[in-house]
Amino acid sequence: MRVLSIIAISWLVWAAAAAAQEPEQGIIVTGEGRISMAPDMAQISLGVQKTAATAKEAMDNVSQEVAVIIDRLDALGVAARDRQTDGFFLHPVQNNRSVSSDQPPQIVGYRAGNTVKVRVRDLAKLGAMLDGVIETGANDFNGLSFGLQNPAPAKARARAAAVADAMERAGELADAAGLALGTVLRMTEHSNVSRPAPMMEMSAPRGSMGDAIATGEVDVTAQVTMVFAIAPGLP
């Protein structure tokens, strides 16, 4: 009896492995849905960099400037939850020695920096916010991007469009092959992709920023792979 049980289990394992190796039957298609919307939020990474004779002086100068910038953000209505320290650094500054010099580089000062990531939920205030932080000492900008505060509705529409696209593709393939499209056997959603408006590289601009910013659109996409059975042919 034990031998029979082992044989039965081995057969089941072999059958499962064989089934897993068999190619999937039916019509397999991948559909994509894309929804483009005007953004309602911006994100910018800004900061301050300072060079001084000592490390403490460099860090103190940066901290003072950032504190003033935070105060300006408060005055502009940027909530505390919409700003976050994104990074800081401190490193020595060395003098430039020629290749032929036998003397090692010497430390002549220190450079410090602090970066803050800021979300702006009212795009009408974006230009004023940029002007304000520049006026108060921000001199390091790592880019500006746009997005959606609540992307869920756009993602739902993108999913529906992806399913409709997949079903249309499957129907076209079935018609071209003279087949009848059957029921859906399997459907897999791939990761939703939110493509923000391109990031703008910035470097301490002069003048008002309000007219220099184009928000564009944000693309939200979804992909689904669907497997359809092939229905029995009509008599």
CB 47 within 8 A of CB 140: yes
Task: Point out the domain boundary residue: 147, 178, 206.
Answer: 147
Each as own residue / partner, the long-range contacts of residues 136-139 (CB below 8 Å, 24 or more positions apart, any chain) are 136/65, 136/68, 136/69, 136/71, 136/72, 137/48, 137/65, 137/68, 137/69, 138/46, 138/47, 138/48, 138/65, 138/69, 138/204, 139/47, 139/48, 139/49, 139/204
The pLDDT score that the predictor gives to residue 92 is: 95
Work out how many domains the chain is built from and give that number: 2
**234 and 219 part of one domain:** yes
Specify if 15 maps to a domain: no
Q: Which residues make Cβ contacts (< 8 Å) with residue 119, sequence separation at least 6?
A: 41, 42, 43, 78, 82, 83
The pLDDT score that the predictor gives to residue 215 is: 84
| Ranges of the chain whose pLDDT falls below 70 | 1-24, 97-101, 192-212, 233-235
Specify if 117 maps to a domain: yes
The pLDDT score that the predictor gives to residue 199 is: 47
The pLDDT score that the predictor gives to residue 97 is: 67
**60 and 120 part of one domain:** yes
**159 and 228 part of one domain:** yes
Locate the DSSP E strands across 138-192: 140-147, 180-189
Specify if 8 maps to a domain: no
The tokens describing 212, both together, are 């220099």
The pLDDT score that the predictor gives to residue 196 is: 55
Specify if 28 maps to a domain: yes
Specify if 13 maps to a domain: no
CB 118 within 8 A of CB 82: yes
Q: What is the largest CA-CA distance in the chain?
A: 94
**154 and 231 part of one domain:** yes
Distance of alpha carbon 84 from its chain centroid, rounded? 17
Specify if 10 maps to a domain: no
The pLDDT score that the predictor gives to residue 202 is: 46
**118 and 156 part of one domain:** no
What single-letter DSSP state applies at residue 210? Answer: G
Domain ranges, residue 139 = 41-96+106-147
Specify if 101 maps to a domain: no
- The CATH number of residue 53's host domain is 3.30.70.2970
Distance CA 146, CA 197 (A): 5
Distance CA 183, CA 167 (A): 11
Task: Point out the domain boundary residue: 117, 132, 147.
Answer: 147
Task: Point out the domain boundary residue: 147, 177, 212.
Answer: 147
- The CATH number of residue 171's host domain is 3.30.110.170
CB 31 within 8 A of CB 162: yes
The tokens describing 134, both together, are 């520049």
